[in-house]
């Protein structure tokens, strides 16, 4: 009888622990759609933007991955960004902000090419982020291949906004 009671108690603790996990989105919602901001005590008036993000493109015909450019947010209105544990920066929605970015291209093995490092600013207007609670990605460019320079492109997806022909 004692092992059954122990097993029952362990199951009960597991069930209670799973129910107390932070996360308030349903299984039908994509995981990058909403952040559990209420569960973490965050403002209802914020958006979340990835602090750094690298583009890549799967080249199935060549059985390899092409490593595209990487972008890192290095400043928010001239100050160092406060990066959360999940790799995102919390920004107020519907606010003008200037994001300082640094872009770098990568070798075929994924290591950065220092000579390609470039910095630029990305201007956020009050109309850029109108719906709080969303996750965003700032890409170094529209495509992962056949592009030059740092042209930050805002997206809700981790994937490039355009496929390379």
Which tens digit of pLDDT belongs to each residue from 88-120?
999 999 999 999 999 999 988 889 999 999 999
| Predicted confidence band of residue 61 (pLDDT cuts 50, 70, 90) | confident
Domain-embedded: residue 125 = yes
pLDDT number for residue 3: 56
Question: What is the span of the domain harbouring residue 72?
Answer: 32-155
Answer whether residue 84 is part of any domain: yes
How many domains would you assign to the chain?
1
Query: 20 lies in a domain?
Result: no
User: Quick check: pTM over 0.75?
Assistant: no
Phi, psi dihedrals of residue 6, rounded to the nearest 5°: -65, -45
Tens of pLDDT, residues 1-55: 555 545 454 544 444 444 444 443 333 334 444 444 333 445 578 999 999 999 8
Nearest-angstrom CA–CA distance, 33 and 37: 12
């Amino acid at each position: 009888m004692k092992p059954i009671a122990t097993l029952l108690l362990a199951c009960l603790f597991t069930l209670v622990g799973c129910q107390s996990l932070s996360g308030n989105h349903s299984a039908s919602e994509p995981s990058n759609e909403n952040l559990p901001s209420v569960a973490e005590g965050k403002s209802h008036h914020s958006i979340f933007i990835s602090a750094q993000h690298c583009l890549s493109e799967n080249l199935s015909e060549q059985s390899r991955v092409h490593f595209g450019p990487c972008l890192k947010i290095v400043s928010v209105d001239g100050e160092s960004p406060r990066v959360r544990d999940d790799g995102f920066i919390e920004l107020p929605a519907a606010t003008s902000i200037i994001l300082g970015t640094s872009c770098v291209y990568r070798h075929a093995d994924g290591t950065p090419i220092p000579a390609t490092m470039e910095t630029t600013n990305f201007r956020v207007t009050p109309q850029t982020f109108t719906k709080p609670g969303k996750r965003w990605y700032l890409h170094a460019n529209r495509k992962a291949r056949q592009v030059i320079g740092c042209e930050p492109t805002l997206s809700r997806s981790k994937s490039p906004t355009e496929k390379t022909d």
